[in-house]
Chain A
Amino acid sequence: MTAAALSPRLQEIVDEFTALPPGQRLQLLLEFAEDLPHLPARYADHPDLLEPVPECQSPLFLAVEVADDGTARLFFQAPREAPTTRGFAGILYAGLDGMSVAEILATPGEFPSRLGLQDLVSPLRLRGMSAMLARIKHRLRSQAA
């Protein structure tokens, strides 16, 4: 059985990680952490609108918006002292923000395990990214309902 296909943007991120020697992948994860955009004021000023993701080691909050054209915008907040969690959020942002709801829902839940990070980050920590993805999907489903 072959693994479910990823969207081109996510596949590109996976390729970017796996093309690097393992020693350099954490550096790339850090770049994703640094590129995570700040929250817009409508969320930064209203943290109650954000959903906590308790499965991450450090506090992460997220919000999801669906536009009229069926595309989704993703918003994340994680502290500077939690670069791994920020990096996970940065990957999901770079890979999924602005995609259609259907495309995001089709993202395989085990996608984080394809980044070649298990031995560097540990499977337990990686679970945080799977949990973020699961909550994004849950939000999209409940907003569509």
Chain B
Amino acid sequence: MALPFDLEPKFADYAHPGMLVTTDWVAEHLDDPGLVVAESDEDVLLYETGHIPGAVKLDWHTELNDPVTRDYVDGPGFAALMSERGISRDTTLVLYGDKNNWWAAYALWVVTLFGHPDVRLMDGGRAKWFAEDRAVTNEIPRRPRTHYPVVGRDDSHIRAFKDRVLAHLGKPMIDVRSPGEYSGDLLHMPDYPQEGALRGGHIPGARSVPWARAAAQDATFRGRQELEAIYEQEIGLHPDDDVVVYCRIGERSSHTWFVLHHLLGFPNVRNYAGSWTAWGNSVQVPIARGAQP
């Protein structure tokens, strides 16, 4: 059974207020049956150094991806993972993680491909929980195994593949990578491993909005007006636009997808999951270099 929404006034301004919960809400509902809290981090060991009591771990790299094909897990793989973590189809799943919920937003986007009915993000993520000196534990919970049904992955609404992006050229597109990656001066994030793109630059027409602009100092999402000022007033997006977002492998852009779709209410936003590591390695696709779209 779904848990009540968090009636935090800040969330009420967002298009889908039910997609977020506060750290207060999580602390209050931690022991409620029907809730599973899951941590998803960039660093695969961070959960082991301490996490929210009762929270399970969900690793984007080793668990949400297919080990062979460059793709996400399939329906049976997702069902097996959810069942093993003690998550049912009617569980309220609350995700949180490090780095402004970057990876938690990615996990939420993948969970959305399987249409999990109730998945939310904890605003502020791991950083906020720890900054507030709330309870943490090293204990790995053993939740009873569930029987999560096999649900097919639906890539048609929120995911874009290369052909769709080619057909989308000229329509609104947001590149959420760092300015150096956008211009083509860098092939990967500053200070991050080279992930192998043969060409640098951006998809022609894409506007540059580094993803973390949507996050405040304390890792929470900026308020609705601040987000509108960035994406609508500054960049000129309209809520009824058909938008494609991308980054390097589709993780940072999941954060922006969440902002545009759930916080600002754009119905048509797709994450190009191949992102630059697909586009920048493709033969004969157009590429723009420099700071201009």
> Are the chains A and B members of one assembly?
yes
| Chain B interface, number of residues (Cβ within 8 angstroms) | 17
Q: Is the CB of B44 within 8 A of A125?
A: yes
Q: Which of B48, B62, B190, B192 contacts A57 (CB 8 A)?
A: B192
Separation of A99 and B16 alpha carbons in the complex (Å): 59
Shortest B69–chain A CB gap in Å is: 15
Q: Is the CB of B46 within 8 A of A83?
A: yes
A26: interface (CB < 8 Å): yes
Q: Is the CB of B45 within 8 A of A83?
A: yes
B42: interface (CB < 8 Å): yes
Complex interface residues of chain A between 14 and 34 (CB less than 8 A to chain B)? 26-27, 29-30, 33
Complex interface residues of chain B between 101 and 128 (CB less than 8 A to chain A)? none
Counting chain A CB atoms within 10 Å of each CB, the highest count among B61, B67, B190 belongs to B61
| Selected interface stretch from A5-13, A69-77, A116-124 | A116-124
Category for how many chain A residues contact B: 20 to 34
Q: Is the CB of B98 within 8 A of A81?
A: yes
Separation of A60 and B70 alpha carbons in the complex (Å): 29
Q: Is the CB of A81 within 8 A of B193?
A: no
Counting chain A CB atoms within 10 Å of each CB, the highest count among B43, B44, B45 belongs to B45
Query: Given the complex, which residues of A lie within 8 Å of B192, measured CB to CB?
Result: 54, 57
Interface of B, secondary structure class, is loop
Query: Given the complex, which residues of A lie within 8 Å of B42, measured CB to CB?
Result: 57-58
Complex interface residues of chain B between 124 and 183 (CB less than 8 A to chain A)? none
Counting chain B CB atoms within 10 Å of each CB, the highest count among A33, A58, A59, A128 belongs to A58
Separation of A122 and B41 alpha carbons in the complex (Å): 14
Query: Given the complex, which residues of B lie within 8 Å of A59, measured CB to CB?
Result: 191
Q: Is the CB of B193 within 8 A of A26?
A: no
Q: Is the CB of B194 within 8 A of A55?
A: yes
Complex interface residues of chain A between 91 and 124 (CB less than 8 A to chain B)? 119-122, 124
A131: interface (CB < 8 Å): yes
Q: Is the CB of A121 within 8 A of B62?
A: yes
B49: interface (CB < 8 Å): yes
* A30-B193 contact, Cβ under 8 Å, with A81-B98, A122-B62, A125-B61: no
* A122-B61 contact, Cβ under 8 Å, with A54-B191, A59-B191: yes
Q: Is the CB of A26 within 8 A of B44?
A: yes
Per-residue CB contact flags for chain A residues 31-61 toward chain B (1 = under 8 Å, else 0) read: 0010000000000000000001011111100
Separation of A120 and B48 alpha carbons in the complex (Å): 13
Q: Is the CB of A30 within 8 A of B44?
A: no
Per-residue CB contact flags for chain B residues 61-80 toward chain A (1 = under 8 Å, else 0) read: 11000010000000000000
30 contacts between A and B (CB under 8 A): A29-B45, A30-B48, A30-B49, A33-B45, A52-B191, A54-B193, A55-B194, A56-B193, A57-B42, A57-B43, A57-B193, A59-B191, A80-B49, A81-B43, A81-B46, A81-B98, A83-B43, A83-B48, A84-B44, A84-B46, A87-B45, A119-B67, A120-B44, A120-B62, A122-B44, A122-B61, A124-B193, A125-B61, A128-B193, A131-B193
> 8 tightest A-B contacts by CB?
A83-B45, A122-B61, A84-B45, A55-B193, A54-B191, A84-B43, A30-B48, A83-B49
